[in-house]
Structure 1
């Protein structure tokens, strides 16, 4: 098994596959490895430290050399974080004074004096033309020398790295977990699954692969290995073709299909023919992706293979040469005739589509009998609907409280967000309550017996991960809608980016809002200081990477909300730069230290979404005075250039209100249902270790749990979603 897969296991599981090597006295090297990890906020578990101590020194050193780069990248410490103002957060100047200083330096420079004078005469000055603006004025080493060492604090993050089983077993377990996930994976997880599938194609397979995107990547590996394909719909073949062309297996974005070899074409056409031969009604699915099928037909040349006539029918329908009424059109015909009862009856043959249509059916129904028929149909097919869809519909109707709201917030699978007026008719309380009760009962029925349930209270308000696409990759990142407590006196945001080809300027900003979502103040390159804190200075070019920081004193913050954001002022987008990520740190006032201290990083999130303005999360002060993080993972379209916090205050406030005021289904909801069947239920106090096996649900895995325990943390929280 290749050691190149070891970083995947560490990132996904926080476990180090059991190192192998000659026995020896590696205790000194193991303690040094532990100390190096602690400098970036990680530590070896007692079991892992003991295991390493029994290996040779060379084996331990080799293990540390492989592991540390992965850990450092997880927290964002693999790059050098410099700042414009060398003493940041101390001695940050007033914005106007700083600009005047840059102008004075430009006037004193022979190369820039004439150009600067000419601009001043027009009354408009471009800061980017000033020689001393936007570029580091000191080296990274000089910056480090200007700061004292970080003083250790009890609140510093310390993530435990646990001892895993051997690499082969760990890779197999990770593959089975990702391949058999009951919820869609994020883009990075899909990439990892593609890699793992190539290695595990001939090994153990999950009992079921409910997510079609996962199946496409696994089919790609099976095709390459000459194994039988897993196909039961025509769309499975289309997704596989997208995977072979490194396109979008979700079918949300068009794929430019590549030329395919003759063996691959034969495999796809044979698979397509077999699906249609068994179930001709599945030809109706072609309509949903007609254009993609037509483009794929140009690559497959089905007319060259008369032995697969059923496959040819697919492309005939796509070209409009043959008719096949789609399921959706039959439903629309019935609704067009105002026959809601018949539409609901038809939809029972497609339980997932029925559930996704419930709101519309209930709004369309004109009589109580029709509404009763819709709810009865939902109750009847609920056992056949996937758990994530049941939970999504449960969350939807919880937020449909019978009143028409003022706005609706839409977020697509990539995190692009927009707001529109809510013009829907209400869902009546009787039907809403009946549906919610039925859905609760169905979820309760599916939850496994938990035995002794042990819960970390800090995870209770984490939103259920119904889709990995609602979460960015990184360390300490939680699903959209999650709420977690924030402890510390100083809150510091950071953004890092490295451009690929063109000069790129990202601007870190923070907006402060009151309880009515009205702007109170902000920190940005146009407002370097305020009573709340300081900005580290504007960097406008990042050929070797650049960082910006905002330091906030939480006790001084006015208002109720803090909304950090990353604005693209110019250059490459978040998906075009070589690398970009955002995060935040928490410190106590006396800790000092460098601008970036990995031990204090609570979250580091990749920025790889659409749009020109990123909103990773927000912070809200509760009535109890406690600050809490609310996870957003949103992107605004923004302007092609010159995005600034001043220009998007209204849209940010509107989106924030829509997310904050929506109730997301959380871990608390499921644990309340699980408690009904648990032998015992206890909240984790951070110290007491139960003697026997437990089902543990928490933000971090405690040391010392019984080896037969089932452990659920944010890394595998999707396993909590029933199938």
Structure 2
């Protein structure tokens, strides 16, 4: 268990909890550990190296074994990455030439000759019936023997591991950070929070737990530990019931409620009763989730507990036996009657909902006086709106400046994307600009005013993480909409998957688009080579795991965009396979090496999401010839089987265009607001750091920062999102 907890801290913070063990002369072992880390793109900070050097050799080796296992998983080096063509990226044949070779091989094979001959006579050939197609023809050891050693380069990734405090302190701090997050967490972070909450339920707690689904995870641990619950809506109780049943706390998917013990039933009913007794208007929230509440009532048996009559009212509303008009229905009635002022007055009691309705209210207002009332109300309630919502509306208003009929992209909580033309009339420029100015003022008021701000320039174009669902778990992963430079001569991306029960075929492909988003060409199992690009070969099953790669010489590529995609051709989905991940590497042409070299990995992310086509990111060549990555984290629905790049190029092009053309709020926006107020700003390009405390914002923590410095990196970037400022 200690190993998994240390691993959890390391993954989230890039800190190694202070190693324990007997004192000794561990210098040699510590340096060997550091050298081993270098092969997977990591190194020990000077402070951590010094700490390990003072321990015994046995203690250092114990720490090294556990740490190397974790960082290997972080980069994807914990599995064996074989390729169909053993010399990849060299000696990859033309597609037609390769298929002809497979046919010839099948005709010489007694077991396949008759079947393949019959198919050829009818003019249709199934590649999967060719014995030589889609299955590795050599072992992983054969691959290693055929490949040259990787030549180290200055541009190889180096991720520094820092010395942390003791394990208990690190776990508590991580729990407080995740539980108190002002933005929703991704599924992997929610699972980690569940582990932490079970351990920390009776210890220090965050000042508040503002995100509802996070609160459900925390409440699950608290109810099992006998602690008081954090409840202020009936939906909080419903989410908690879902957590106790192993269901979906986001309420996106239906939960099959388990039979609950009497103590748990009593706790849930008492919680419902207290919420409604304190504010009977909360019953209006039931209508949004009538069916889940009905099913929950069948498990809780509220009729057996007459001492909690308000809890019984919840289920009466769900069954339609008691009326409780929902807030949304009241707003809808007012707007149907063209009473914008009345709707605004009612919405002021729910500031977050008012903000989300601003675009609609401005569009349906009858004239300038009504629009002035809408803007004035928004300004009044702005201090009571969460920072995440303020920033989301600010980003929305900025993008409304674009002309109508541009594609509009929608992305649900599971990453499923769809695109539609935007036929909304434009917002009046003056009203939009007044709102933008007011929201900027509100954000500036909430942000800290550090005496000194130290900025890594590479973080400036990282999109603000307004939701953990807009990213994926992994190494070097940026939020959806972020832009990051791609330096190097060769770009290589990869996919790995391992099926759970049935034969599963993932196909790595790349769509090459022109500046107008039209198709130039593609790389896939049907097109193994193109100008500047090579595919590693199609693998059609993965009982022991399988990998596919695409290698690109960036200076030779046609077009403007490269869009890697993972298509599910057959078998299990992204959430059904035992394991799957995507990533990319950057190399110089002379480096050579295996198809997969962990220290050249710039990004590795888990592949999880709805849909049969995954679009992790896109690469774009600028007018200056330099390439940048635009992070997508999208899934398209696709079809049930045989998804191919040729068939989905139109839908992929539309999704890429819609997201690339949309402008996200980035770290540059927030730091610009900070620097406007008495803050000295310094860009850090890898040199010495100041001796005084600073607020450092960057992709990774530099060594030597003053111990009183506040540090914001990718691991805790959500801390930049300011919540409400309490008086």
- The verdict on a shared fold, with TM-score over 0.5 as the criterion, is yes
Residue matched to 2:379: 379
CA contact (8 A) 1:402 1:428 kept: no
* Residues 313-354 of structure 1 deviation map (CA, whole Å, 9 limit, x = unaligned): 000000000011111111111101101011011100000000
**Within-5 A mapping of 1:392-403:** 392-401=392-401, 403=403
**Within-5 A mapping of 1:319-718:** 319-401=319-401, 403-718=403-718
Deviation at 1:208, TM superposition (A): 0.8
- Secondary structure at 2:162 match in 1: strand
- Secondary structure at 1:252 match in 2: coil
- Secondary structure at 2:410 match in 1: strand
- The answer to whether the aligner puts 1:153 opposite 2:153 as a matched pair is yes
CA contact (8 A) 1:444 1:673 kept: yes
* Residues 500-523 of structure 1 deviation map (CA, whole Å, 9 limit, x = unaligned): 000001100111111000111111
- Secondary structure at 1:716 match in 2: helix
User: 2: CA distance between counterparts of 1:169 and 1:29?
Assistant: 27
CA contact (8 A) 1:563 1:618 kept: yes
- Secondary structure at 1:682 match in 2: strand
User: 2: CA distance between counterparts of 1:486 and 1:157?
Assistant: 12
Residue matched to 1:315: 315
- The answer to whether the aligner puts 1:256 opposite 2:252 as a matched pair is no
- Secondary structure at 1:78 match in 2: coil
User: 1: CA distance between counterparts of 2:281 and 2:637?
Assistant: 40
Residue matched to 1:299: 299
CA contact (8 A) 1:575 1:609 kept: yes
Residue matched to 2:37: 37
* Residues 336-394 of structure 1 deviation map (CA, whole Å, 9 limit, x = unaligned): 11010110111000000000000111111111111110010000000000000000000
User: 2: CA distance between counterparts of 1:472 and 1:555?
Assistant: 29
**Within-5 A mapping of 1:56-205:** 56-205=56-205
Runs of 4+ in 1 over 4 A off after TM superposition: none
User: 2: CA distance between counterparts of 1:366 and 1:670?
Assistant: 35
* Residues 605-634 of structure 1 deviation map (CA, whole Å, 9 limit, x = unaligned): 100111110000000011111100000000
Between 375-384 and 227-236, report the one with greater CA deviation. 227-236
- Secondary structure at 2:714 match in 1: coil
- Secondary structure at 1:420 match in 2: strand
CA contact (8 A) 1:156 1:599 kept: yes
User: 2: CA distance between counterparts of 1:704 and 1:110?
Assistant: 68
Give the length in aligned residue pairs.
723
- Secondary structure at 2:114 match in 1: helix
CA contact (8 A) 1:450 1:677 kept: no
User: 2: CA distance between counterparts of 1:214 and 1:644?
Assistant: 38
Deviation at 1:677, TM superposition (A): 2.6
CA contact (8 A) 1:182 1:211 kept: yes
Deviation at 1:421, TM superposition (A): 2.0
- Secondary structure at 1:314 match in 2: helix
TM-score (norm 1): 0.99
Deviation at 1:402, TM superposition (A): 6.5
User: 2: CA distance between counterparts of 1:339 and 1:431?
Assistant: 19
User: 2: CA distance between counterparts of 1:47 and 1:304?
Assistant: 61
CA contact (8 A) 1:181 1:209 kept: yes
* Residues 558-582 of structure 1 deviation map (CA, whole Å, 9 limit, x = unaligned): 1110000000110100000000000
User: 1: CA distance between counterparts of 2:2 and 2:650?
Assistant: 51
CA contact (8 A) 1:237 1:271 kept: yes
Deviation at 1:271, TM superposition (A): 0.8
CA contact (8 A) 1:402 1:429 kept: no
- Secondary structure at 1:677 match in 2: coil
User: 2: CA distance between counterparts of 1:485 and 1:9?
Assistant: 28
- Secondary structure at 1:583 match in 2: strand
- Secondary structure at 1:177 match in 2: helix
Deviation at 1:533, TM superposition (A): 1.4
- Secondary structure at 2:161 match in 1: strand
User: 2: CA distance between counterparts of 1:3 and 1:64?
Assistant: 12
User: 2: CA distance between counterparts of 1:325 and 1:514?
Assistant: 52
* Residues 263-322 of structure 1 deviation map (CA, whole Å, 9 limit, x = unaligned): 100010011101111111111111111111001001001011111000000000000000
Deviation at 1:408, TM superposition (A): 1.2
Deviation at 1:193, TM superposition (A): 0.4
CA contact (8 A) 1:696 1:710 kept: yes
Q: Could you list the runs of 5+ residues in structure 1 that have no partner in the other structure?
A: none
Deviation at 1:407, TM superposition (A): 2.2
User: 2: CA distance between counterparts of 1:405 and 1:370?
Assistant: 26
Residue matched to 2:287: 287
Deviation at 1:678, TM superposition (A): 4.4
- Secondary structure at 2:573 match in 1: coil
> Once superposed, what is the RMSD of the aligned Cα atoms?
0.8
* Residues 239-275 of structure 1 deviation map (CA, whole Å, 9 limit, x = unaligned): 1001001111111211111111111000100111011
Between 683-692 and 90-99, report the one with greater CA deviation. 683-692
Deviation at 1:405, TM superposition (A): 2.9
User: 2: CA distance between counterparts of 1:412 and 1:212?
Assistant: 17
User: 2: CA distance between counterparts of 1:450 and 1:686?
Assistant: 21
CA contact (8 A) 1:615 1:635 kept: yes
- Secondary structure at 1:114 match in 2: helix
- Secondary structure at 2:651 match in 1: helix
* Residues 506-549 of structure 1 deviation map (CA, whole Å, 9 limit, x = unaligned): 10011111100011111111011111211000000100000000
User: 2: CA distance between counterparts of 1:348 and 1:81?
Assistant: 56
User: 1: CA distance between counterparts of 2:678 and 2:622?
Assistant: 32
Deviation at 1:3, TM superposition (A): 4.0
